[in-house]
Amino acid sequence: MTTDGPLSDLVVVDLTRALSGPQAAMMLGDLGARVIKVESPSGDDTRNWGPPFVGEDDERVATYFLAANRNKESITLDLKAAEDADVLRKLVRKADVLLENFRVGVLERLGFGVEELHELNPRLVILSITGFGHDGPEAHRSGYDQIAQGEGGLMSLTGSDQPTKVGVPIADLLAGMNGAFGVLGALHERTRTGRGRVVRTSLLASIVGVHAFQGTRATVAGEVPAPAGDHHPSIAPYGMFATATGPIQIACGSEGLWQALCSVVGIDADDARFATNPDRVANHDLLCELLEKHFRGEPAEAWLEKFAAAGIPSGKVRSLDEVYDWHQTRSQGLLLEVEHATQGQLGLPGSPLRFDSQPYSGGRSEHLPPPTLGQHTQAVREWVADDPT
């Protein structure tokens, strides 16, 4: 199978399941790599993570699986069976990248540890994603997004009254993104060294890695951040506000924007309580009360028009159906239409990357639908059959 795109000369063997690894593999596939997803005979767990499902009976598939598995082929292998393990060895010899997110030690017990893999293919770049890291006192723990969001501190920053998880599996998604980024670095290094190396990341590392200014509040300022709800803890006004018809969001990230907001709303920009950003943060509740008193006098759309005219960053809070119907989303190629083997035409969220002269997201001219279980088993077996070893 041939593709186009920046990575069209690469073959990726994807041994991962659930979300972190499949996300990384899909990102590489979006850029044109040939991604061969190796599944157990029962398939990736996410094929059954529903509802919601689409399709009927034997053709039923979870929409969860569809979200992270476009631009891949699927082959089923039982790695405990000698014949199937041999097929994987042949795949490894042909591959540029191998991705795995087994618990620590599992791949070694199957006979595919790092040494064995590099003996088969010294140029192989290996991405290993774990829950809490491949070493250290808690390396043995299983990695699930819900747990990682809590253990990594993200839930302590999110919500208002109690720790709250992010509405998507953000630890998994970030681990996948970090993993794909690391793979590209290792591939670039391989052009100089001629050898592959192991790239490691984890759900825990990926959560800690996005603490950003909240992290330095703890490590440098000695503050323990608390949930800030829908408002920024260090900038004001910067958050969500009620109007006569619904919520809007504004982001005044400079004194100039604060002055412009005051002009539009009709409040005193020189009020000593709000004269500087530290003053506004210190008097945040009072400031929000004052602003919402004005905002509730007019509908959301009227305020958004005024803010747009004044150059004040602002926006509405859209539901997901509104997002995918939005002309701006569609103009960026963020809704992909693919033809699924059993489900027909499907609309999938697209890649966040665009390359010049392309009207759609991702780095390839044609996107493949998520595969059915084992859809490409015969074709892949025939492809590796010419390996004489």
Give me the residue spans of the domains in the chain.
11-210+330-384, 238-320
Tokens representing residue 115 in the block? 């040494």
CB 130 within 8 A of CB 142: no
pLDDT value at residue 3:
74
What CA–CA distance (Å, rounded) separates 340 from 276?
A: 55
Question: Which tokens is 372 given?
Answer: 């059915």
57 and 343 in contact (C-beta within 8 Å)?
no
Which is catalytic among the residues 14, 30, 145, 172?
172
- The per-residue pLDDT for 365 is 86
- Nearest CA to 197 among 250, 143, 116, 123? 123
Between β-strands 97-100 and 125-130, what pairing exists: parallel, antiparallel or unpaired? parallel
Residue from 168, 205, 204, 201 nearest 101 by CA: 201
Give residue for tokens 């073959």: 11
Find the helix or strand (DSSP H, E) in which 29 lies: helix 20-30
d(CA 201, CA 182): 9
d(CA 257, CA 253): 7
Place of tokens 């043995």: 140
pLDDT tens per residue across all 389 residues of the chain: 567 899 999 999 999 999 999 999 999 999 999 999 999 999 999 999 999 999 988 889 999 999 999 999 999 999 999 999 999 999 999 999 999 999 999 999 999 999 999 999 999 999 999 999 999 999 999 989 999 999 999 999 999 888 999 999 999 999 999 999 999 999 999 999 999 999 999 999 999 999 999 999 999 999 999 898 999 999 999 999 999 999 999 999 999 999 999 999 999 988 999 999 999 999 999 999 999 999 999 999 999 999 999 999 999 999 999 999 999 999 998 999 999 999 999 999 999 998 887 767 788 888 999 999 999 999 999 999 977 66
Structure tokens of 67? 């979200």
Select from 342, 249, 259, 322 the least CA-distant residue to 292.
249
Is 271 assigned a catalytic role? no
Question: CATH topology of 11-210+330-384 equal to that of 238-320?
Answer: no
- Identity of the residue numbered 38: V
What pLDDT sits at residue 1? 57
| DSSP code per residue over 62-131 | EHHHHTT--S-EEEE--TTSHHHHHHHHHHHHH-SEEEE-PPTTHHHHTT--HHHHHHH-TT-EEEEEES
Mention the CATH class of domain 238-320: alpha beta
With beta carbons less than 8 A apart as the criterion, state whether 33 and 10 touch.
yes
DSSP assignment of 301-358: HHHHHHHHHHT--EEE---HHHHHH-HHHHHTT-EEEEEETTTEEEEEE--S-B-TT-
Amino acid type, 282: A
User: How far apart, in Å, are the Cα atoms of 83 and each of 43, 87, 89, 154, 353?
Assistant: 18, 7, 10, 44, 39
**From the candidate CATH numbers 3.40.50.620, 3.30.70.1020, 3.40.50.1220, 3.40.50.10540, the one assigned to the domain spanning 11-210+330-384:** 3.40.50.10540
pLDDT recorded at residue 59: 87
* Residue whose token pair is 């005024």: 306
* pLDDT for the residue numbered 359: 66
